[in-house]
Structure 1
């Protein structure tokens, strides 16, 4: 099981008491957590041109570690209660000014993860400052094309073939972040639809959902996104449930609400289970998360070990993964579950290649 989350935190450094439980919630703990942040530092000249400020990233990692430990019941690798031995390990993290990505893996799966690589492509002014102009979807589409074209991973021998060199060379890809697509509608019409909670009508105005560029074959051709059944994630008043558009009378500061924060994917091995937003009021964006079941192939030696373990486990009537006994389906309230059954995923060094992409906008 793969958990993917994205959150634009508006240049604010987290405080020690910030609770991430709402964002990281799921019916059961996942095997892998991929968490992406935008604007973990203010996007000013000092942060762009000066030395990188890693302080906020360190705080976020500490909060994530604490949250994941609590999700897993503070259990050690052997199942014993041991708060000093977290169940999840940080596999890789990377900061690029305000962009921050980290990947956490269940500790007992650590040995099966290999060939981790990171590649950065800067976009915007000077390759760092973002393109935030409302209505400038052409520039954002151009950024996507440049990221796909310029991202390179050093390849090496990977079984009988070479490891993937580009993003699209991977079998399965997840694209997450503040994509900054807006609503092609007026302020008045948007407010009316917001009052009625008519997300379906609003989505008809969404630049991504319109898929004009996608249909023309110019951007995100072949990519998928789950159905959206939640309110626009931007732009809120801080510590409030009200959008800026509902409270601001100045046209200069007006921001029409939109689903800026998105999670897309490409690949047959990825099966989305749910797609939701969190309700933390820490930022002017609401966090977004999604869960996937990923089918991967294991090396023969690992398969034998797992088969022996599974065979032994299935002798116990309470075994969760015993194929002769079905488990009740558990879902989040109000969330449509796309895949009903729960699969046992065996991560390994062989099998489909997986790539996580964070756009720099």
Structure 2
């Protein structure tokens, strides 16, 4: 989950070495997170490449992206990836690409027509190199703009100046923008929500077993363990749906209804441990590549209630299973509605004589 409101955040000020069982990781300064209100992704490219990474011992490069099929592009350390050919067949290559995991991501936000910069992973697998030199970047003045899928370029989208890294500010922490329109109260509430979910996982190990969690227990707790009010630019704290729906329902002791385009992932979740109550459900929708809450009129006779989460059906307690009795009629009503909308196809009578392959279904 993320909400695109923070414009800038503090840069990293010093090199931090994190020791682990696998390898050392070095955290070096990176470009400040930012939101650039422009349709052309090259504005973000210019901003990132203007950062003096070579002064901190590494070099930044524009990574692989699919501008025609994805609203996301990446930036990497110049030591990431491998040169052409299979790694095993490289021999004694002089390439400096050693698979560095550093990755920054830019994502297009359709609702604001802007690109945001996200710190996906800021660690390097190598120490700073004081001898690294900047590379000359070729810019084609006739190149067309790089647009996210579905975005249309028009005459009013003229050239604008690109934000440049402030050299003086790089040495001092930046204050978070406190404008009420940029950091709304919803972010304060979100911090309390994460802390409540973390406490639920810790205090209910017998109910929220590893098989009931959307990811390994330690990783799930680490994803919730932050005191930051806004995590839009740090992907390691993002939550996915429908995987976390059951945890949200259990934490706040109320159903959670999740909708997204199509019907494959639409779900309703109930608390794992309590019997039904009259508290209205939490409604979450997926729109513009992020999650948002919504309000529904729960007095409707034909309320669109999607199918129940199969994970909840497997791990809910006997007391909690009564939830399904109260909601079963609405779930079935919506399922019948969807089935009636499916296109009907005629079967060829000759097909009945052809033996059918068995269908393998995974739970």
Q: TM-score, normalised on structure 1?
A: 0.24
The structure, 1 or 2, with the larger RCO (C-alpha pairs under 8 Å, 6+ apart) is 1
Higher gyration radius (CA): 2
Q: TM-score, normalised on structure 2?
A: 0.24
